Amino acid sequence: MRKFLIILAAGGLALTWAQAPALPVLGQVFTPPAGLAPRTAQLQALERQLAAAGAHVAALRDGRGNQVHVYTDRAGRVFGLAWQGVSQPNLRTMLGAYFAAYRQAAARPHRRGPLEVTVDGLVVDLGGHPRDLRGRAYLKQAIPGGLTPAVVQ
Protein backbone atom coordinates (compact mmCIF):
# COMPACT_ATOMS: atom_id res chain seq x y z
CA MET A 1 0.00 0.00 0.00
CA ARG A 2 1.41 3.39 -1.00
CA LYS A 3 0.74 6.58 0.85
CA PHE A 4 0.05 9.74 -1.12
CA LEU A 5 -0.43 13.20 0.34
CA ILE A 6 -2.39 16.09 -1.10
CA ILE A 7 -0.92 19.42 -0.01
CA LEU A 8 -2.99 22.53 0.46
CA ALA A 9 -0.22 25.10 0.62
CA ALA A 10 -2.25 28.05 1.85
CA GLY A 11 -2.90 26.63 5.29
CA GLY A 12 -0.07 24.13 5.33
CA LEU A 13 -2.69 21.40 5.64
CA ALA A 14 -1.85 17.92 4.39
CA LEU A 15 -4.43 15.22 3.90
CA THR A 16 -3.43 11.57 4.06
CA TRP A 17 -5.42 8.53 3.05
CA ALA A 18 -5.13 5.16 4.75
CA GLN A 19 -5.47 3.71 1.28
CA ALA A 20 -3.77 5.89 -1.29
CA PRO A 21 -5.43 6.94 -4.52
CA ALA A 22 -3.92 5.60 -7.71
CA LEU A 23 -0.68 7.27 -8.77
CA PRO A 24 -0.91 9.48 -11.83
CA VAL A 25 0.22 7.67 -14.99
CA LEU A 26 1.22 9.50 -18.16
CA GLY A 27 -1.39 9.03 -20.87
CA GLN A 28 -4.05 7.64 -18.52
CA VAL A 29 -7.02 9.26 -16.82
CA PHE A 30 -6.32 10.64 -13.35
CA THR A 31 -8.89 12.22 -11.09
CA PRO A 32 -7.54 13.94 -7.98
CA PRO A 33 -9.83 13.83 -4.94
CA ALA A 34 -12.78 16.23 -5.24
CA GLY A 35 -12.67 19.63 -3.64
CA LEU A 36 -8.91 20.14 -3.78
CA ALA A 37 -7.55 22.99 -5.86
CA PRO A 38 -4.08 24.48 -6.19
CA ARG A 39 -3.53 27.04 -3.44
CA THR A 40 -0.14 28.62 -4.08
CA ALA A 41 -0.10 31.81 -6.12
CA GLN A 42 2.11 30.12 -8.72
CA LEU A 43 -0.28 27.20 -9.14
CA GLN A 44 -3.33 29.47 -9.21
CA ALA A 45 -1.78 31.46 -12.07
CA LEU A 46 -0.87 28.26 -13.87
CA GLU A 47 -4.39 26.88 -13.36
CA ARG A 48 -5.88 30.02 -14.97
CA GLN A 49 -3.55 29.62 -17.97
CA LEU A 50 -4.43 25.92 -18.32
CA ALA A 51 -8.18 26.52 -17.88
CA ALA A 52 -8.34 28.45 -21.16
CA ALA A 53 -7.33 25.21 -22.92
CA GLY A 54 -9.58 23.03 -20.76
CA ALA A 55 -6.61 21.61 -18.84
CA HIS A 56 -5.94 21.37 -15.11
CA VAL A 57 -3.05 20.94 -12.67
CA ALA A 58 -3.08 19.19 -9.30
CA ALA A 59 -0.29 19.42 -6.70
CA LEU A 60 0.41 16.17 -4.89
CA ARG A 61 3.08 14.87 -2.52
CA ASP A 62 4.22 11.26 -2.80
CA GLY A 63 5.30 9.02 0.07
CA ARG A 64 8.94 10.05 -0.43
CA GLY A 65 8.23 13.76 0.11
CA ASN A 66 8.43 14.75 -3.56
CA GLN A 67 6.07 17.42 -4.83
CA VAL A 68 4.40 16.24 -8.04
CA HIS A 69 2.36 18.41 -10.40
CA VAL A 70 -0.10 16.41 -12.51
CA TYR A 71 -1.33 18.05 -15.73
CA THR A 72 -4.56 16.71 -17.21
CA ASP A 73 -6.55 17.58 -20.31
CA ARG A 74 -10.29 18.19 -20.53
CA ALA A 75 -10.99 14.43 -20.35
CA GLY A 76 -8.75 13.97 -17.28
CA ARG A 77 -5.97 12.23 -19.23
CA VAL A 78 -2.46 12.98 -17.91
CA PHE A 79 -0.37 14.79 -20.53
CA GLY A 80 2.39 15.98 -18.21
CA LEU A 81 4.07 15.41 -14.87
CA ALA A 82 6.62 17.57 -13.07
CA TRP A 83 8.35 16.85 -9.78
CA GLN A 84 10.82 18.19 -7.27
CA GLY A 85 12.14 16.52 -4.16
CA VAL A 86 14.84 14.62 -2.36
CA SER A 87 14.54 11.56 -4.64
CA GLN A 88 13.20 10.56 -8.02
CA PRO A 89 9.55 9.55 -7.95
CA ASN A 90 8.59 6.09 -9.16
CA LEU A 91 9.14 6.68 -12.89
CA ARG A 92 8.26 3.08 -13.75
CA THR A 93 4.75 3.67 -12.44
CA MET A 94 4.32 7.29 -13.52
CA LEU A 95 5.55 6.76 -17.10
CA GLY A 96 3.42 3.62 -17.45
CA ALA A 97 3.49 2.22 -20.99
CA TYR A 98 6.19 4.76 -21.93
CA PHE A 99 8.72 3.55 -19.35
CA ALA A 100 10.36 0.90 -21.57
CA ALA A 101 11.03 3.43 -24.36
CA TYR A 102 12.32 5.94 -21.81
CA ARG A 103 14.61 3.39 -20.18
CA GLN A 104 16.07 2.28 -23.50
CA ALA A 105 16.69 5.87 -24.66
CA ALA A 106 18.12 6.93 -21.27
CA ALA A 107 20.63 4.06 -21.39
CA ARG A 108 22.35 5.59 -24.43
CA PRO A 109 25.59 7.42 -23.63
CA HIS A 110 25.12 11.11 -22.85
CA ARG A 111 27.19 13.94 -21.47
CA ARG A 112 27.24 14.86 -17.80
CA GLY A 113 24.59 17.18 -16.51
CA PRO A 114 20.84 17.23 -16.96
CA LEU A 115 19.36 14.37 -18.95
CA GLU A 116 16.83 15.00 -21.71
CA VAL A 117 15.23 12.00 -23.36
CA THR A 118 12.97 12.40 -26.39
CA VAL A 119 11.48 9.28 -27.93
CA ASP A 120 8.18 8.64 -29.75
CA GLY A 121 6.57 11.91 -28.60
CA LEU A 122 7.66 11.40 -24.98
CA VAL A 123 9.97 13.99 -23.43
CA VAL A 124 11.61 13.42 -20.04
CA ASP A 125 13.94 16.01 -18.47
CA LEU A 126 15.88 15.14 -15.30
CA GLY A 127 18.23 17.38 -13.36
CA GLY A 128 19.16 18.88 -10.04
CA HIS A 129 21.61 17.67 -7.43
CA PRO A 130 21.46 15.31 -4.43
CA ARG A 131 18.48 16.09 -2.19
CA ASP A 132 17.05 18.52 -4.77
CA LEU A 133 16.07 16.48 -7.81
CA ARG A 134 13.76 17.92 -10.43
CA GLY A 135 12.18 16.62 -13.54
CA ARG A 136 9.28 16.58 -15.89
CA ALA A 137 7.73 14.25 -18.42
CA TYR A 138 5.15 15.03 -21.04
CA LEU A 139 3.60 13.71 -24.22
CA LYS A 140 4.11 16.28 -27.00
CA GLN A 141 1.13 15.08 -29.01
CA ALA A 142 -1.20 15.15 -25.98
CA ILE A 143 -0.61 18.77 -24.92
CA PRO A 144 -3.92 20.59 -25.43
CA GLY A 145 -4.11 23.15 -28.24
CA GLY A 146 -3.06 26.65 -27.23
CA LEU A 147 -0.49 25.36 -24.72
CA THR A 148 3.23 24.72 -25.08
CA PRO A 149 5.47 22.22 -23.26
CA ALA A 150 6.63 25.13 -21.06
CA VAL A 151 3.43 24.80 -18.96
CA VAL A 152 4.68 21.48 -17.57
CA GLN A 153 6.82 22.83 -14.72
Domain boundaries of the chain, sorted by first residue: 4-151
Read off φ and ψ for residue 112, nearest 5 degrees. Answer: -65, 160
The band of 4, judged by pLDDT with boundaries at 50, 70 and 90, is very low
Q: Is the pTM of this model over 0.85?
A: no
pLDDT greater than 60 at residue 11: no
Polymer length in residues for the chain: 153
Q: What is the pLDDT of residues 54-100, one digit of tens each?
A: 999 988 887 777 889 999 999 999 999 999 999 888 899 999 999 99
* 15 pLDDT tier (thresholds 50, 70, 90): very low
- How confident is the model at residue 121, as a pLDDT? 93
Structural contact between residues 75 and 29, judged by C-beta atoms closer than 8 angstroms = yes
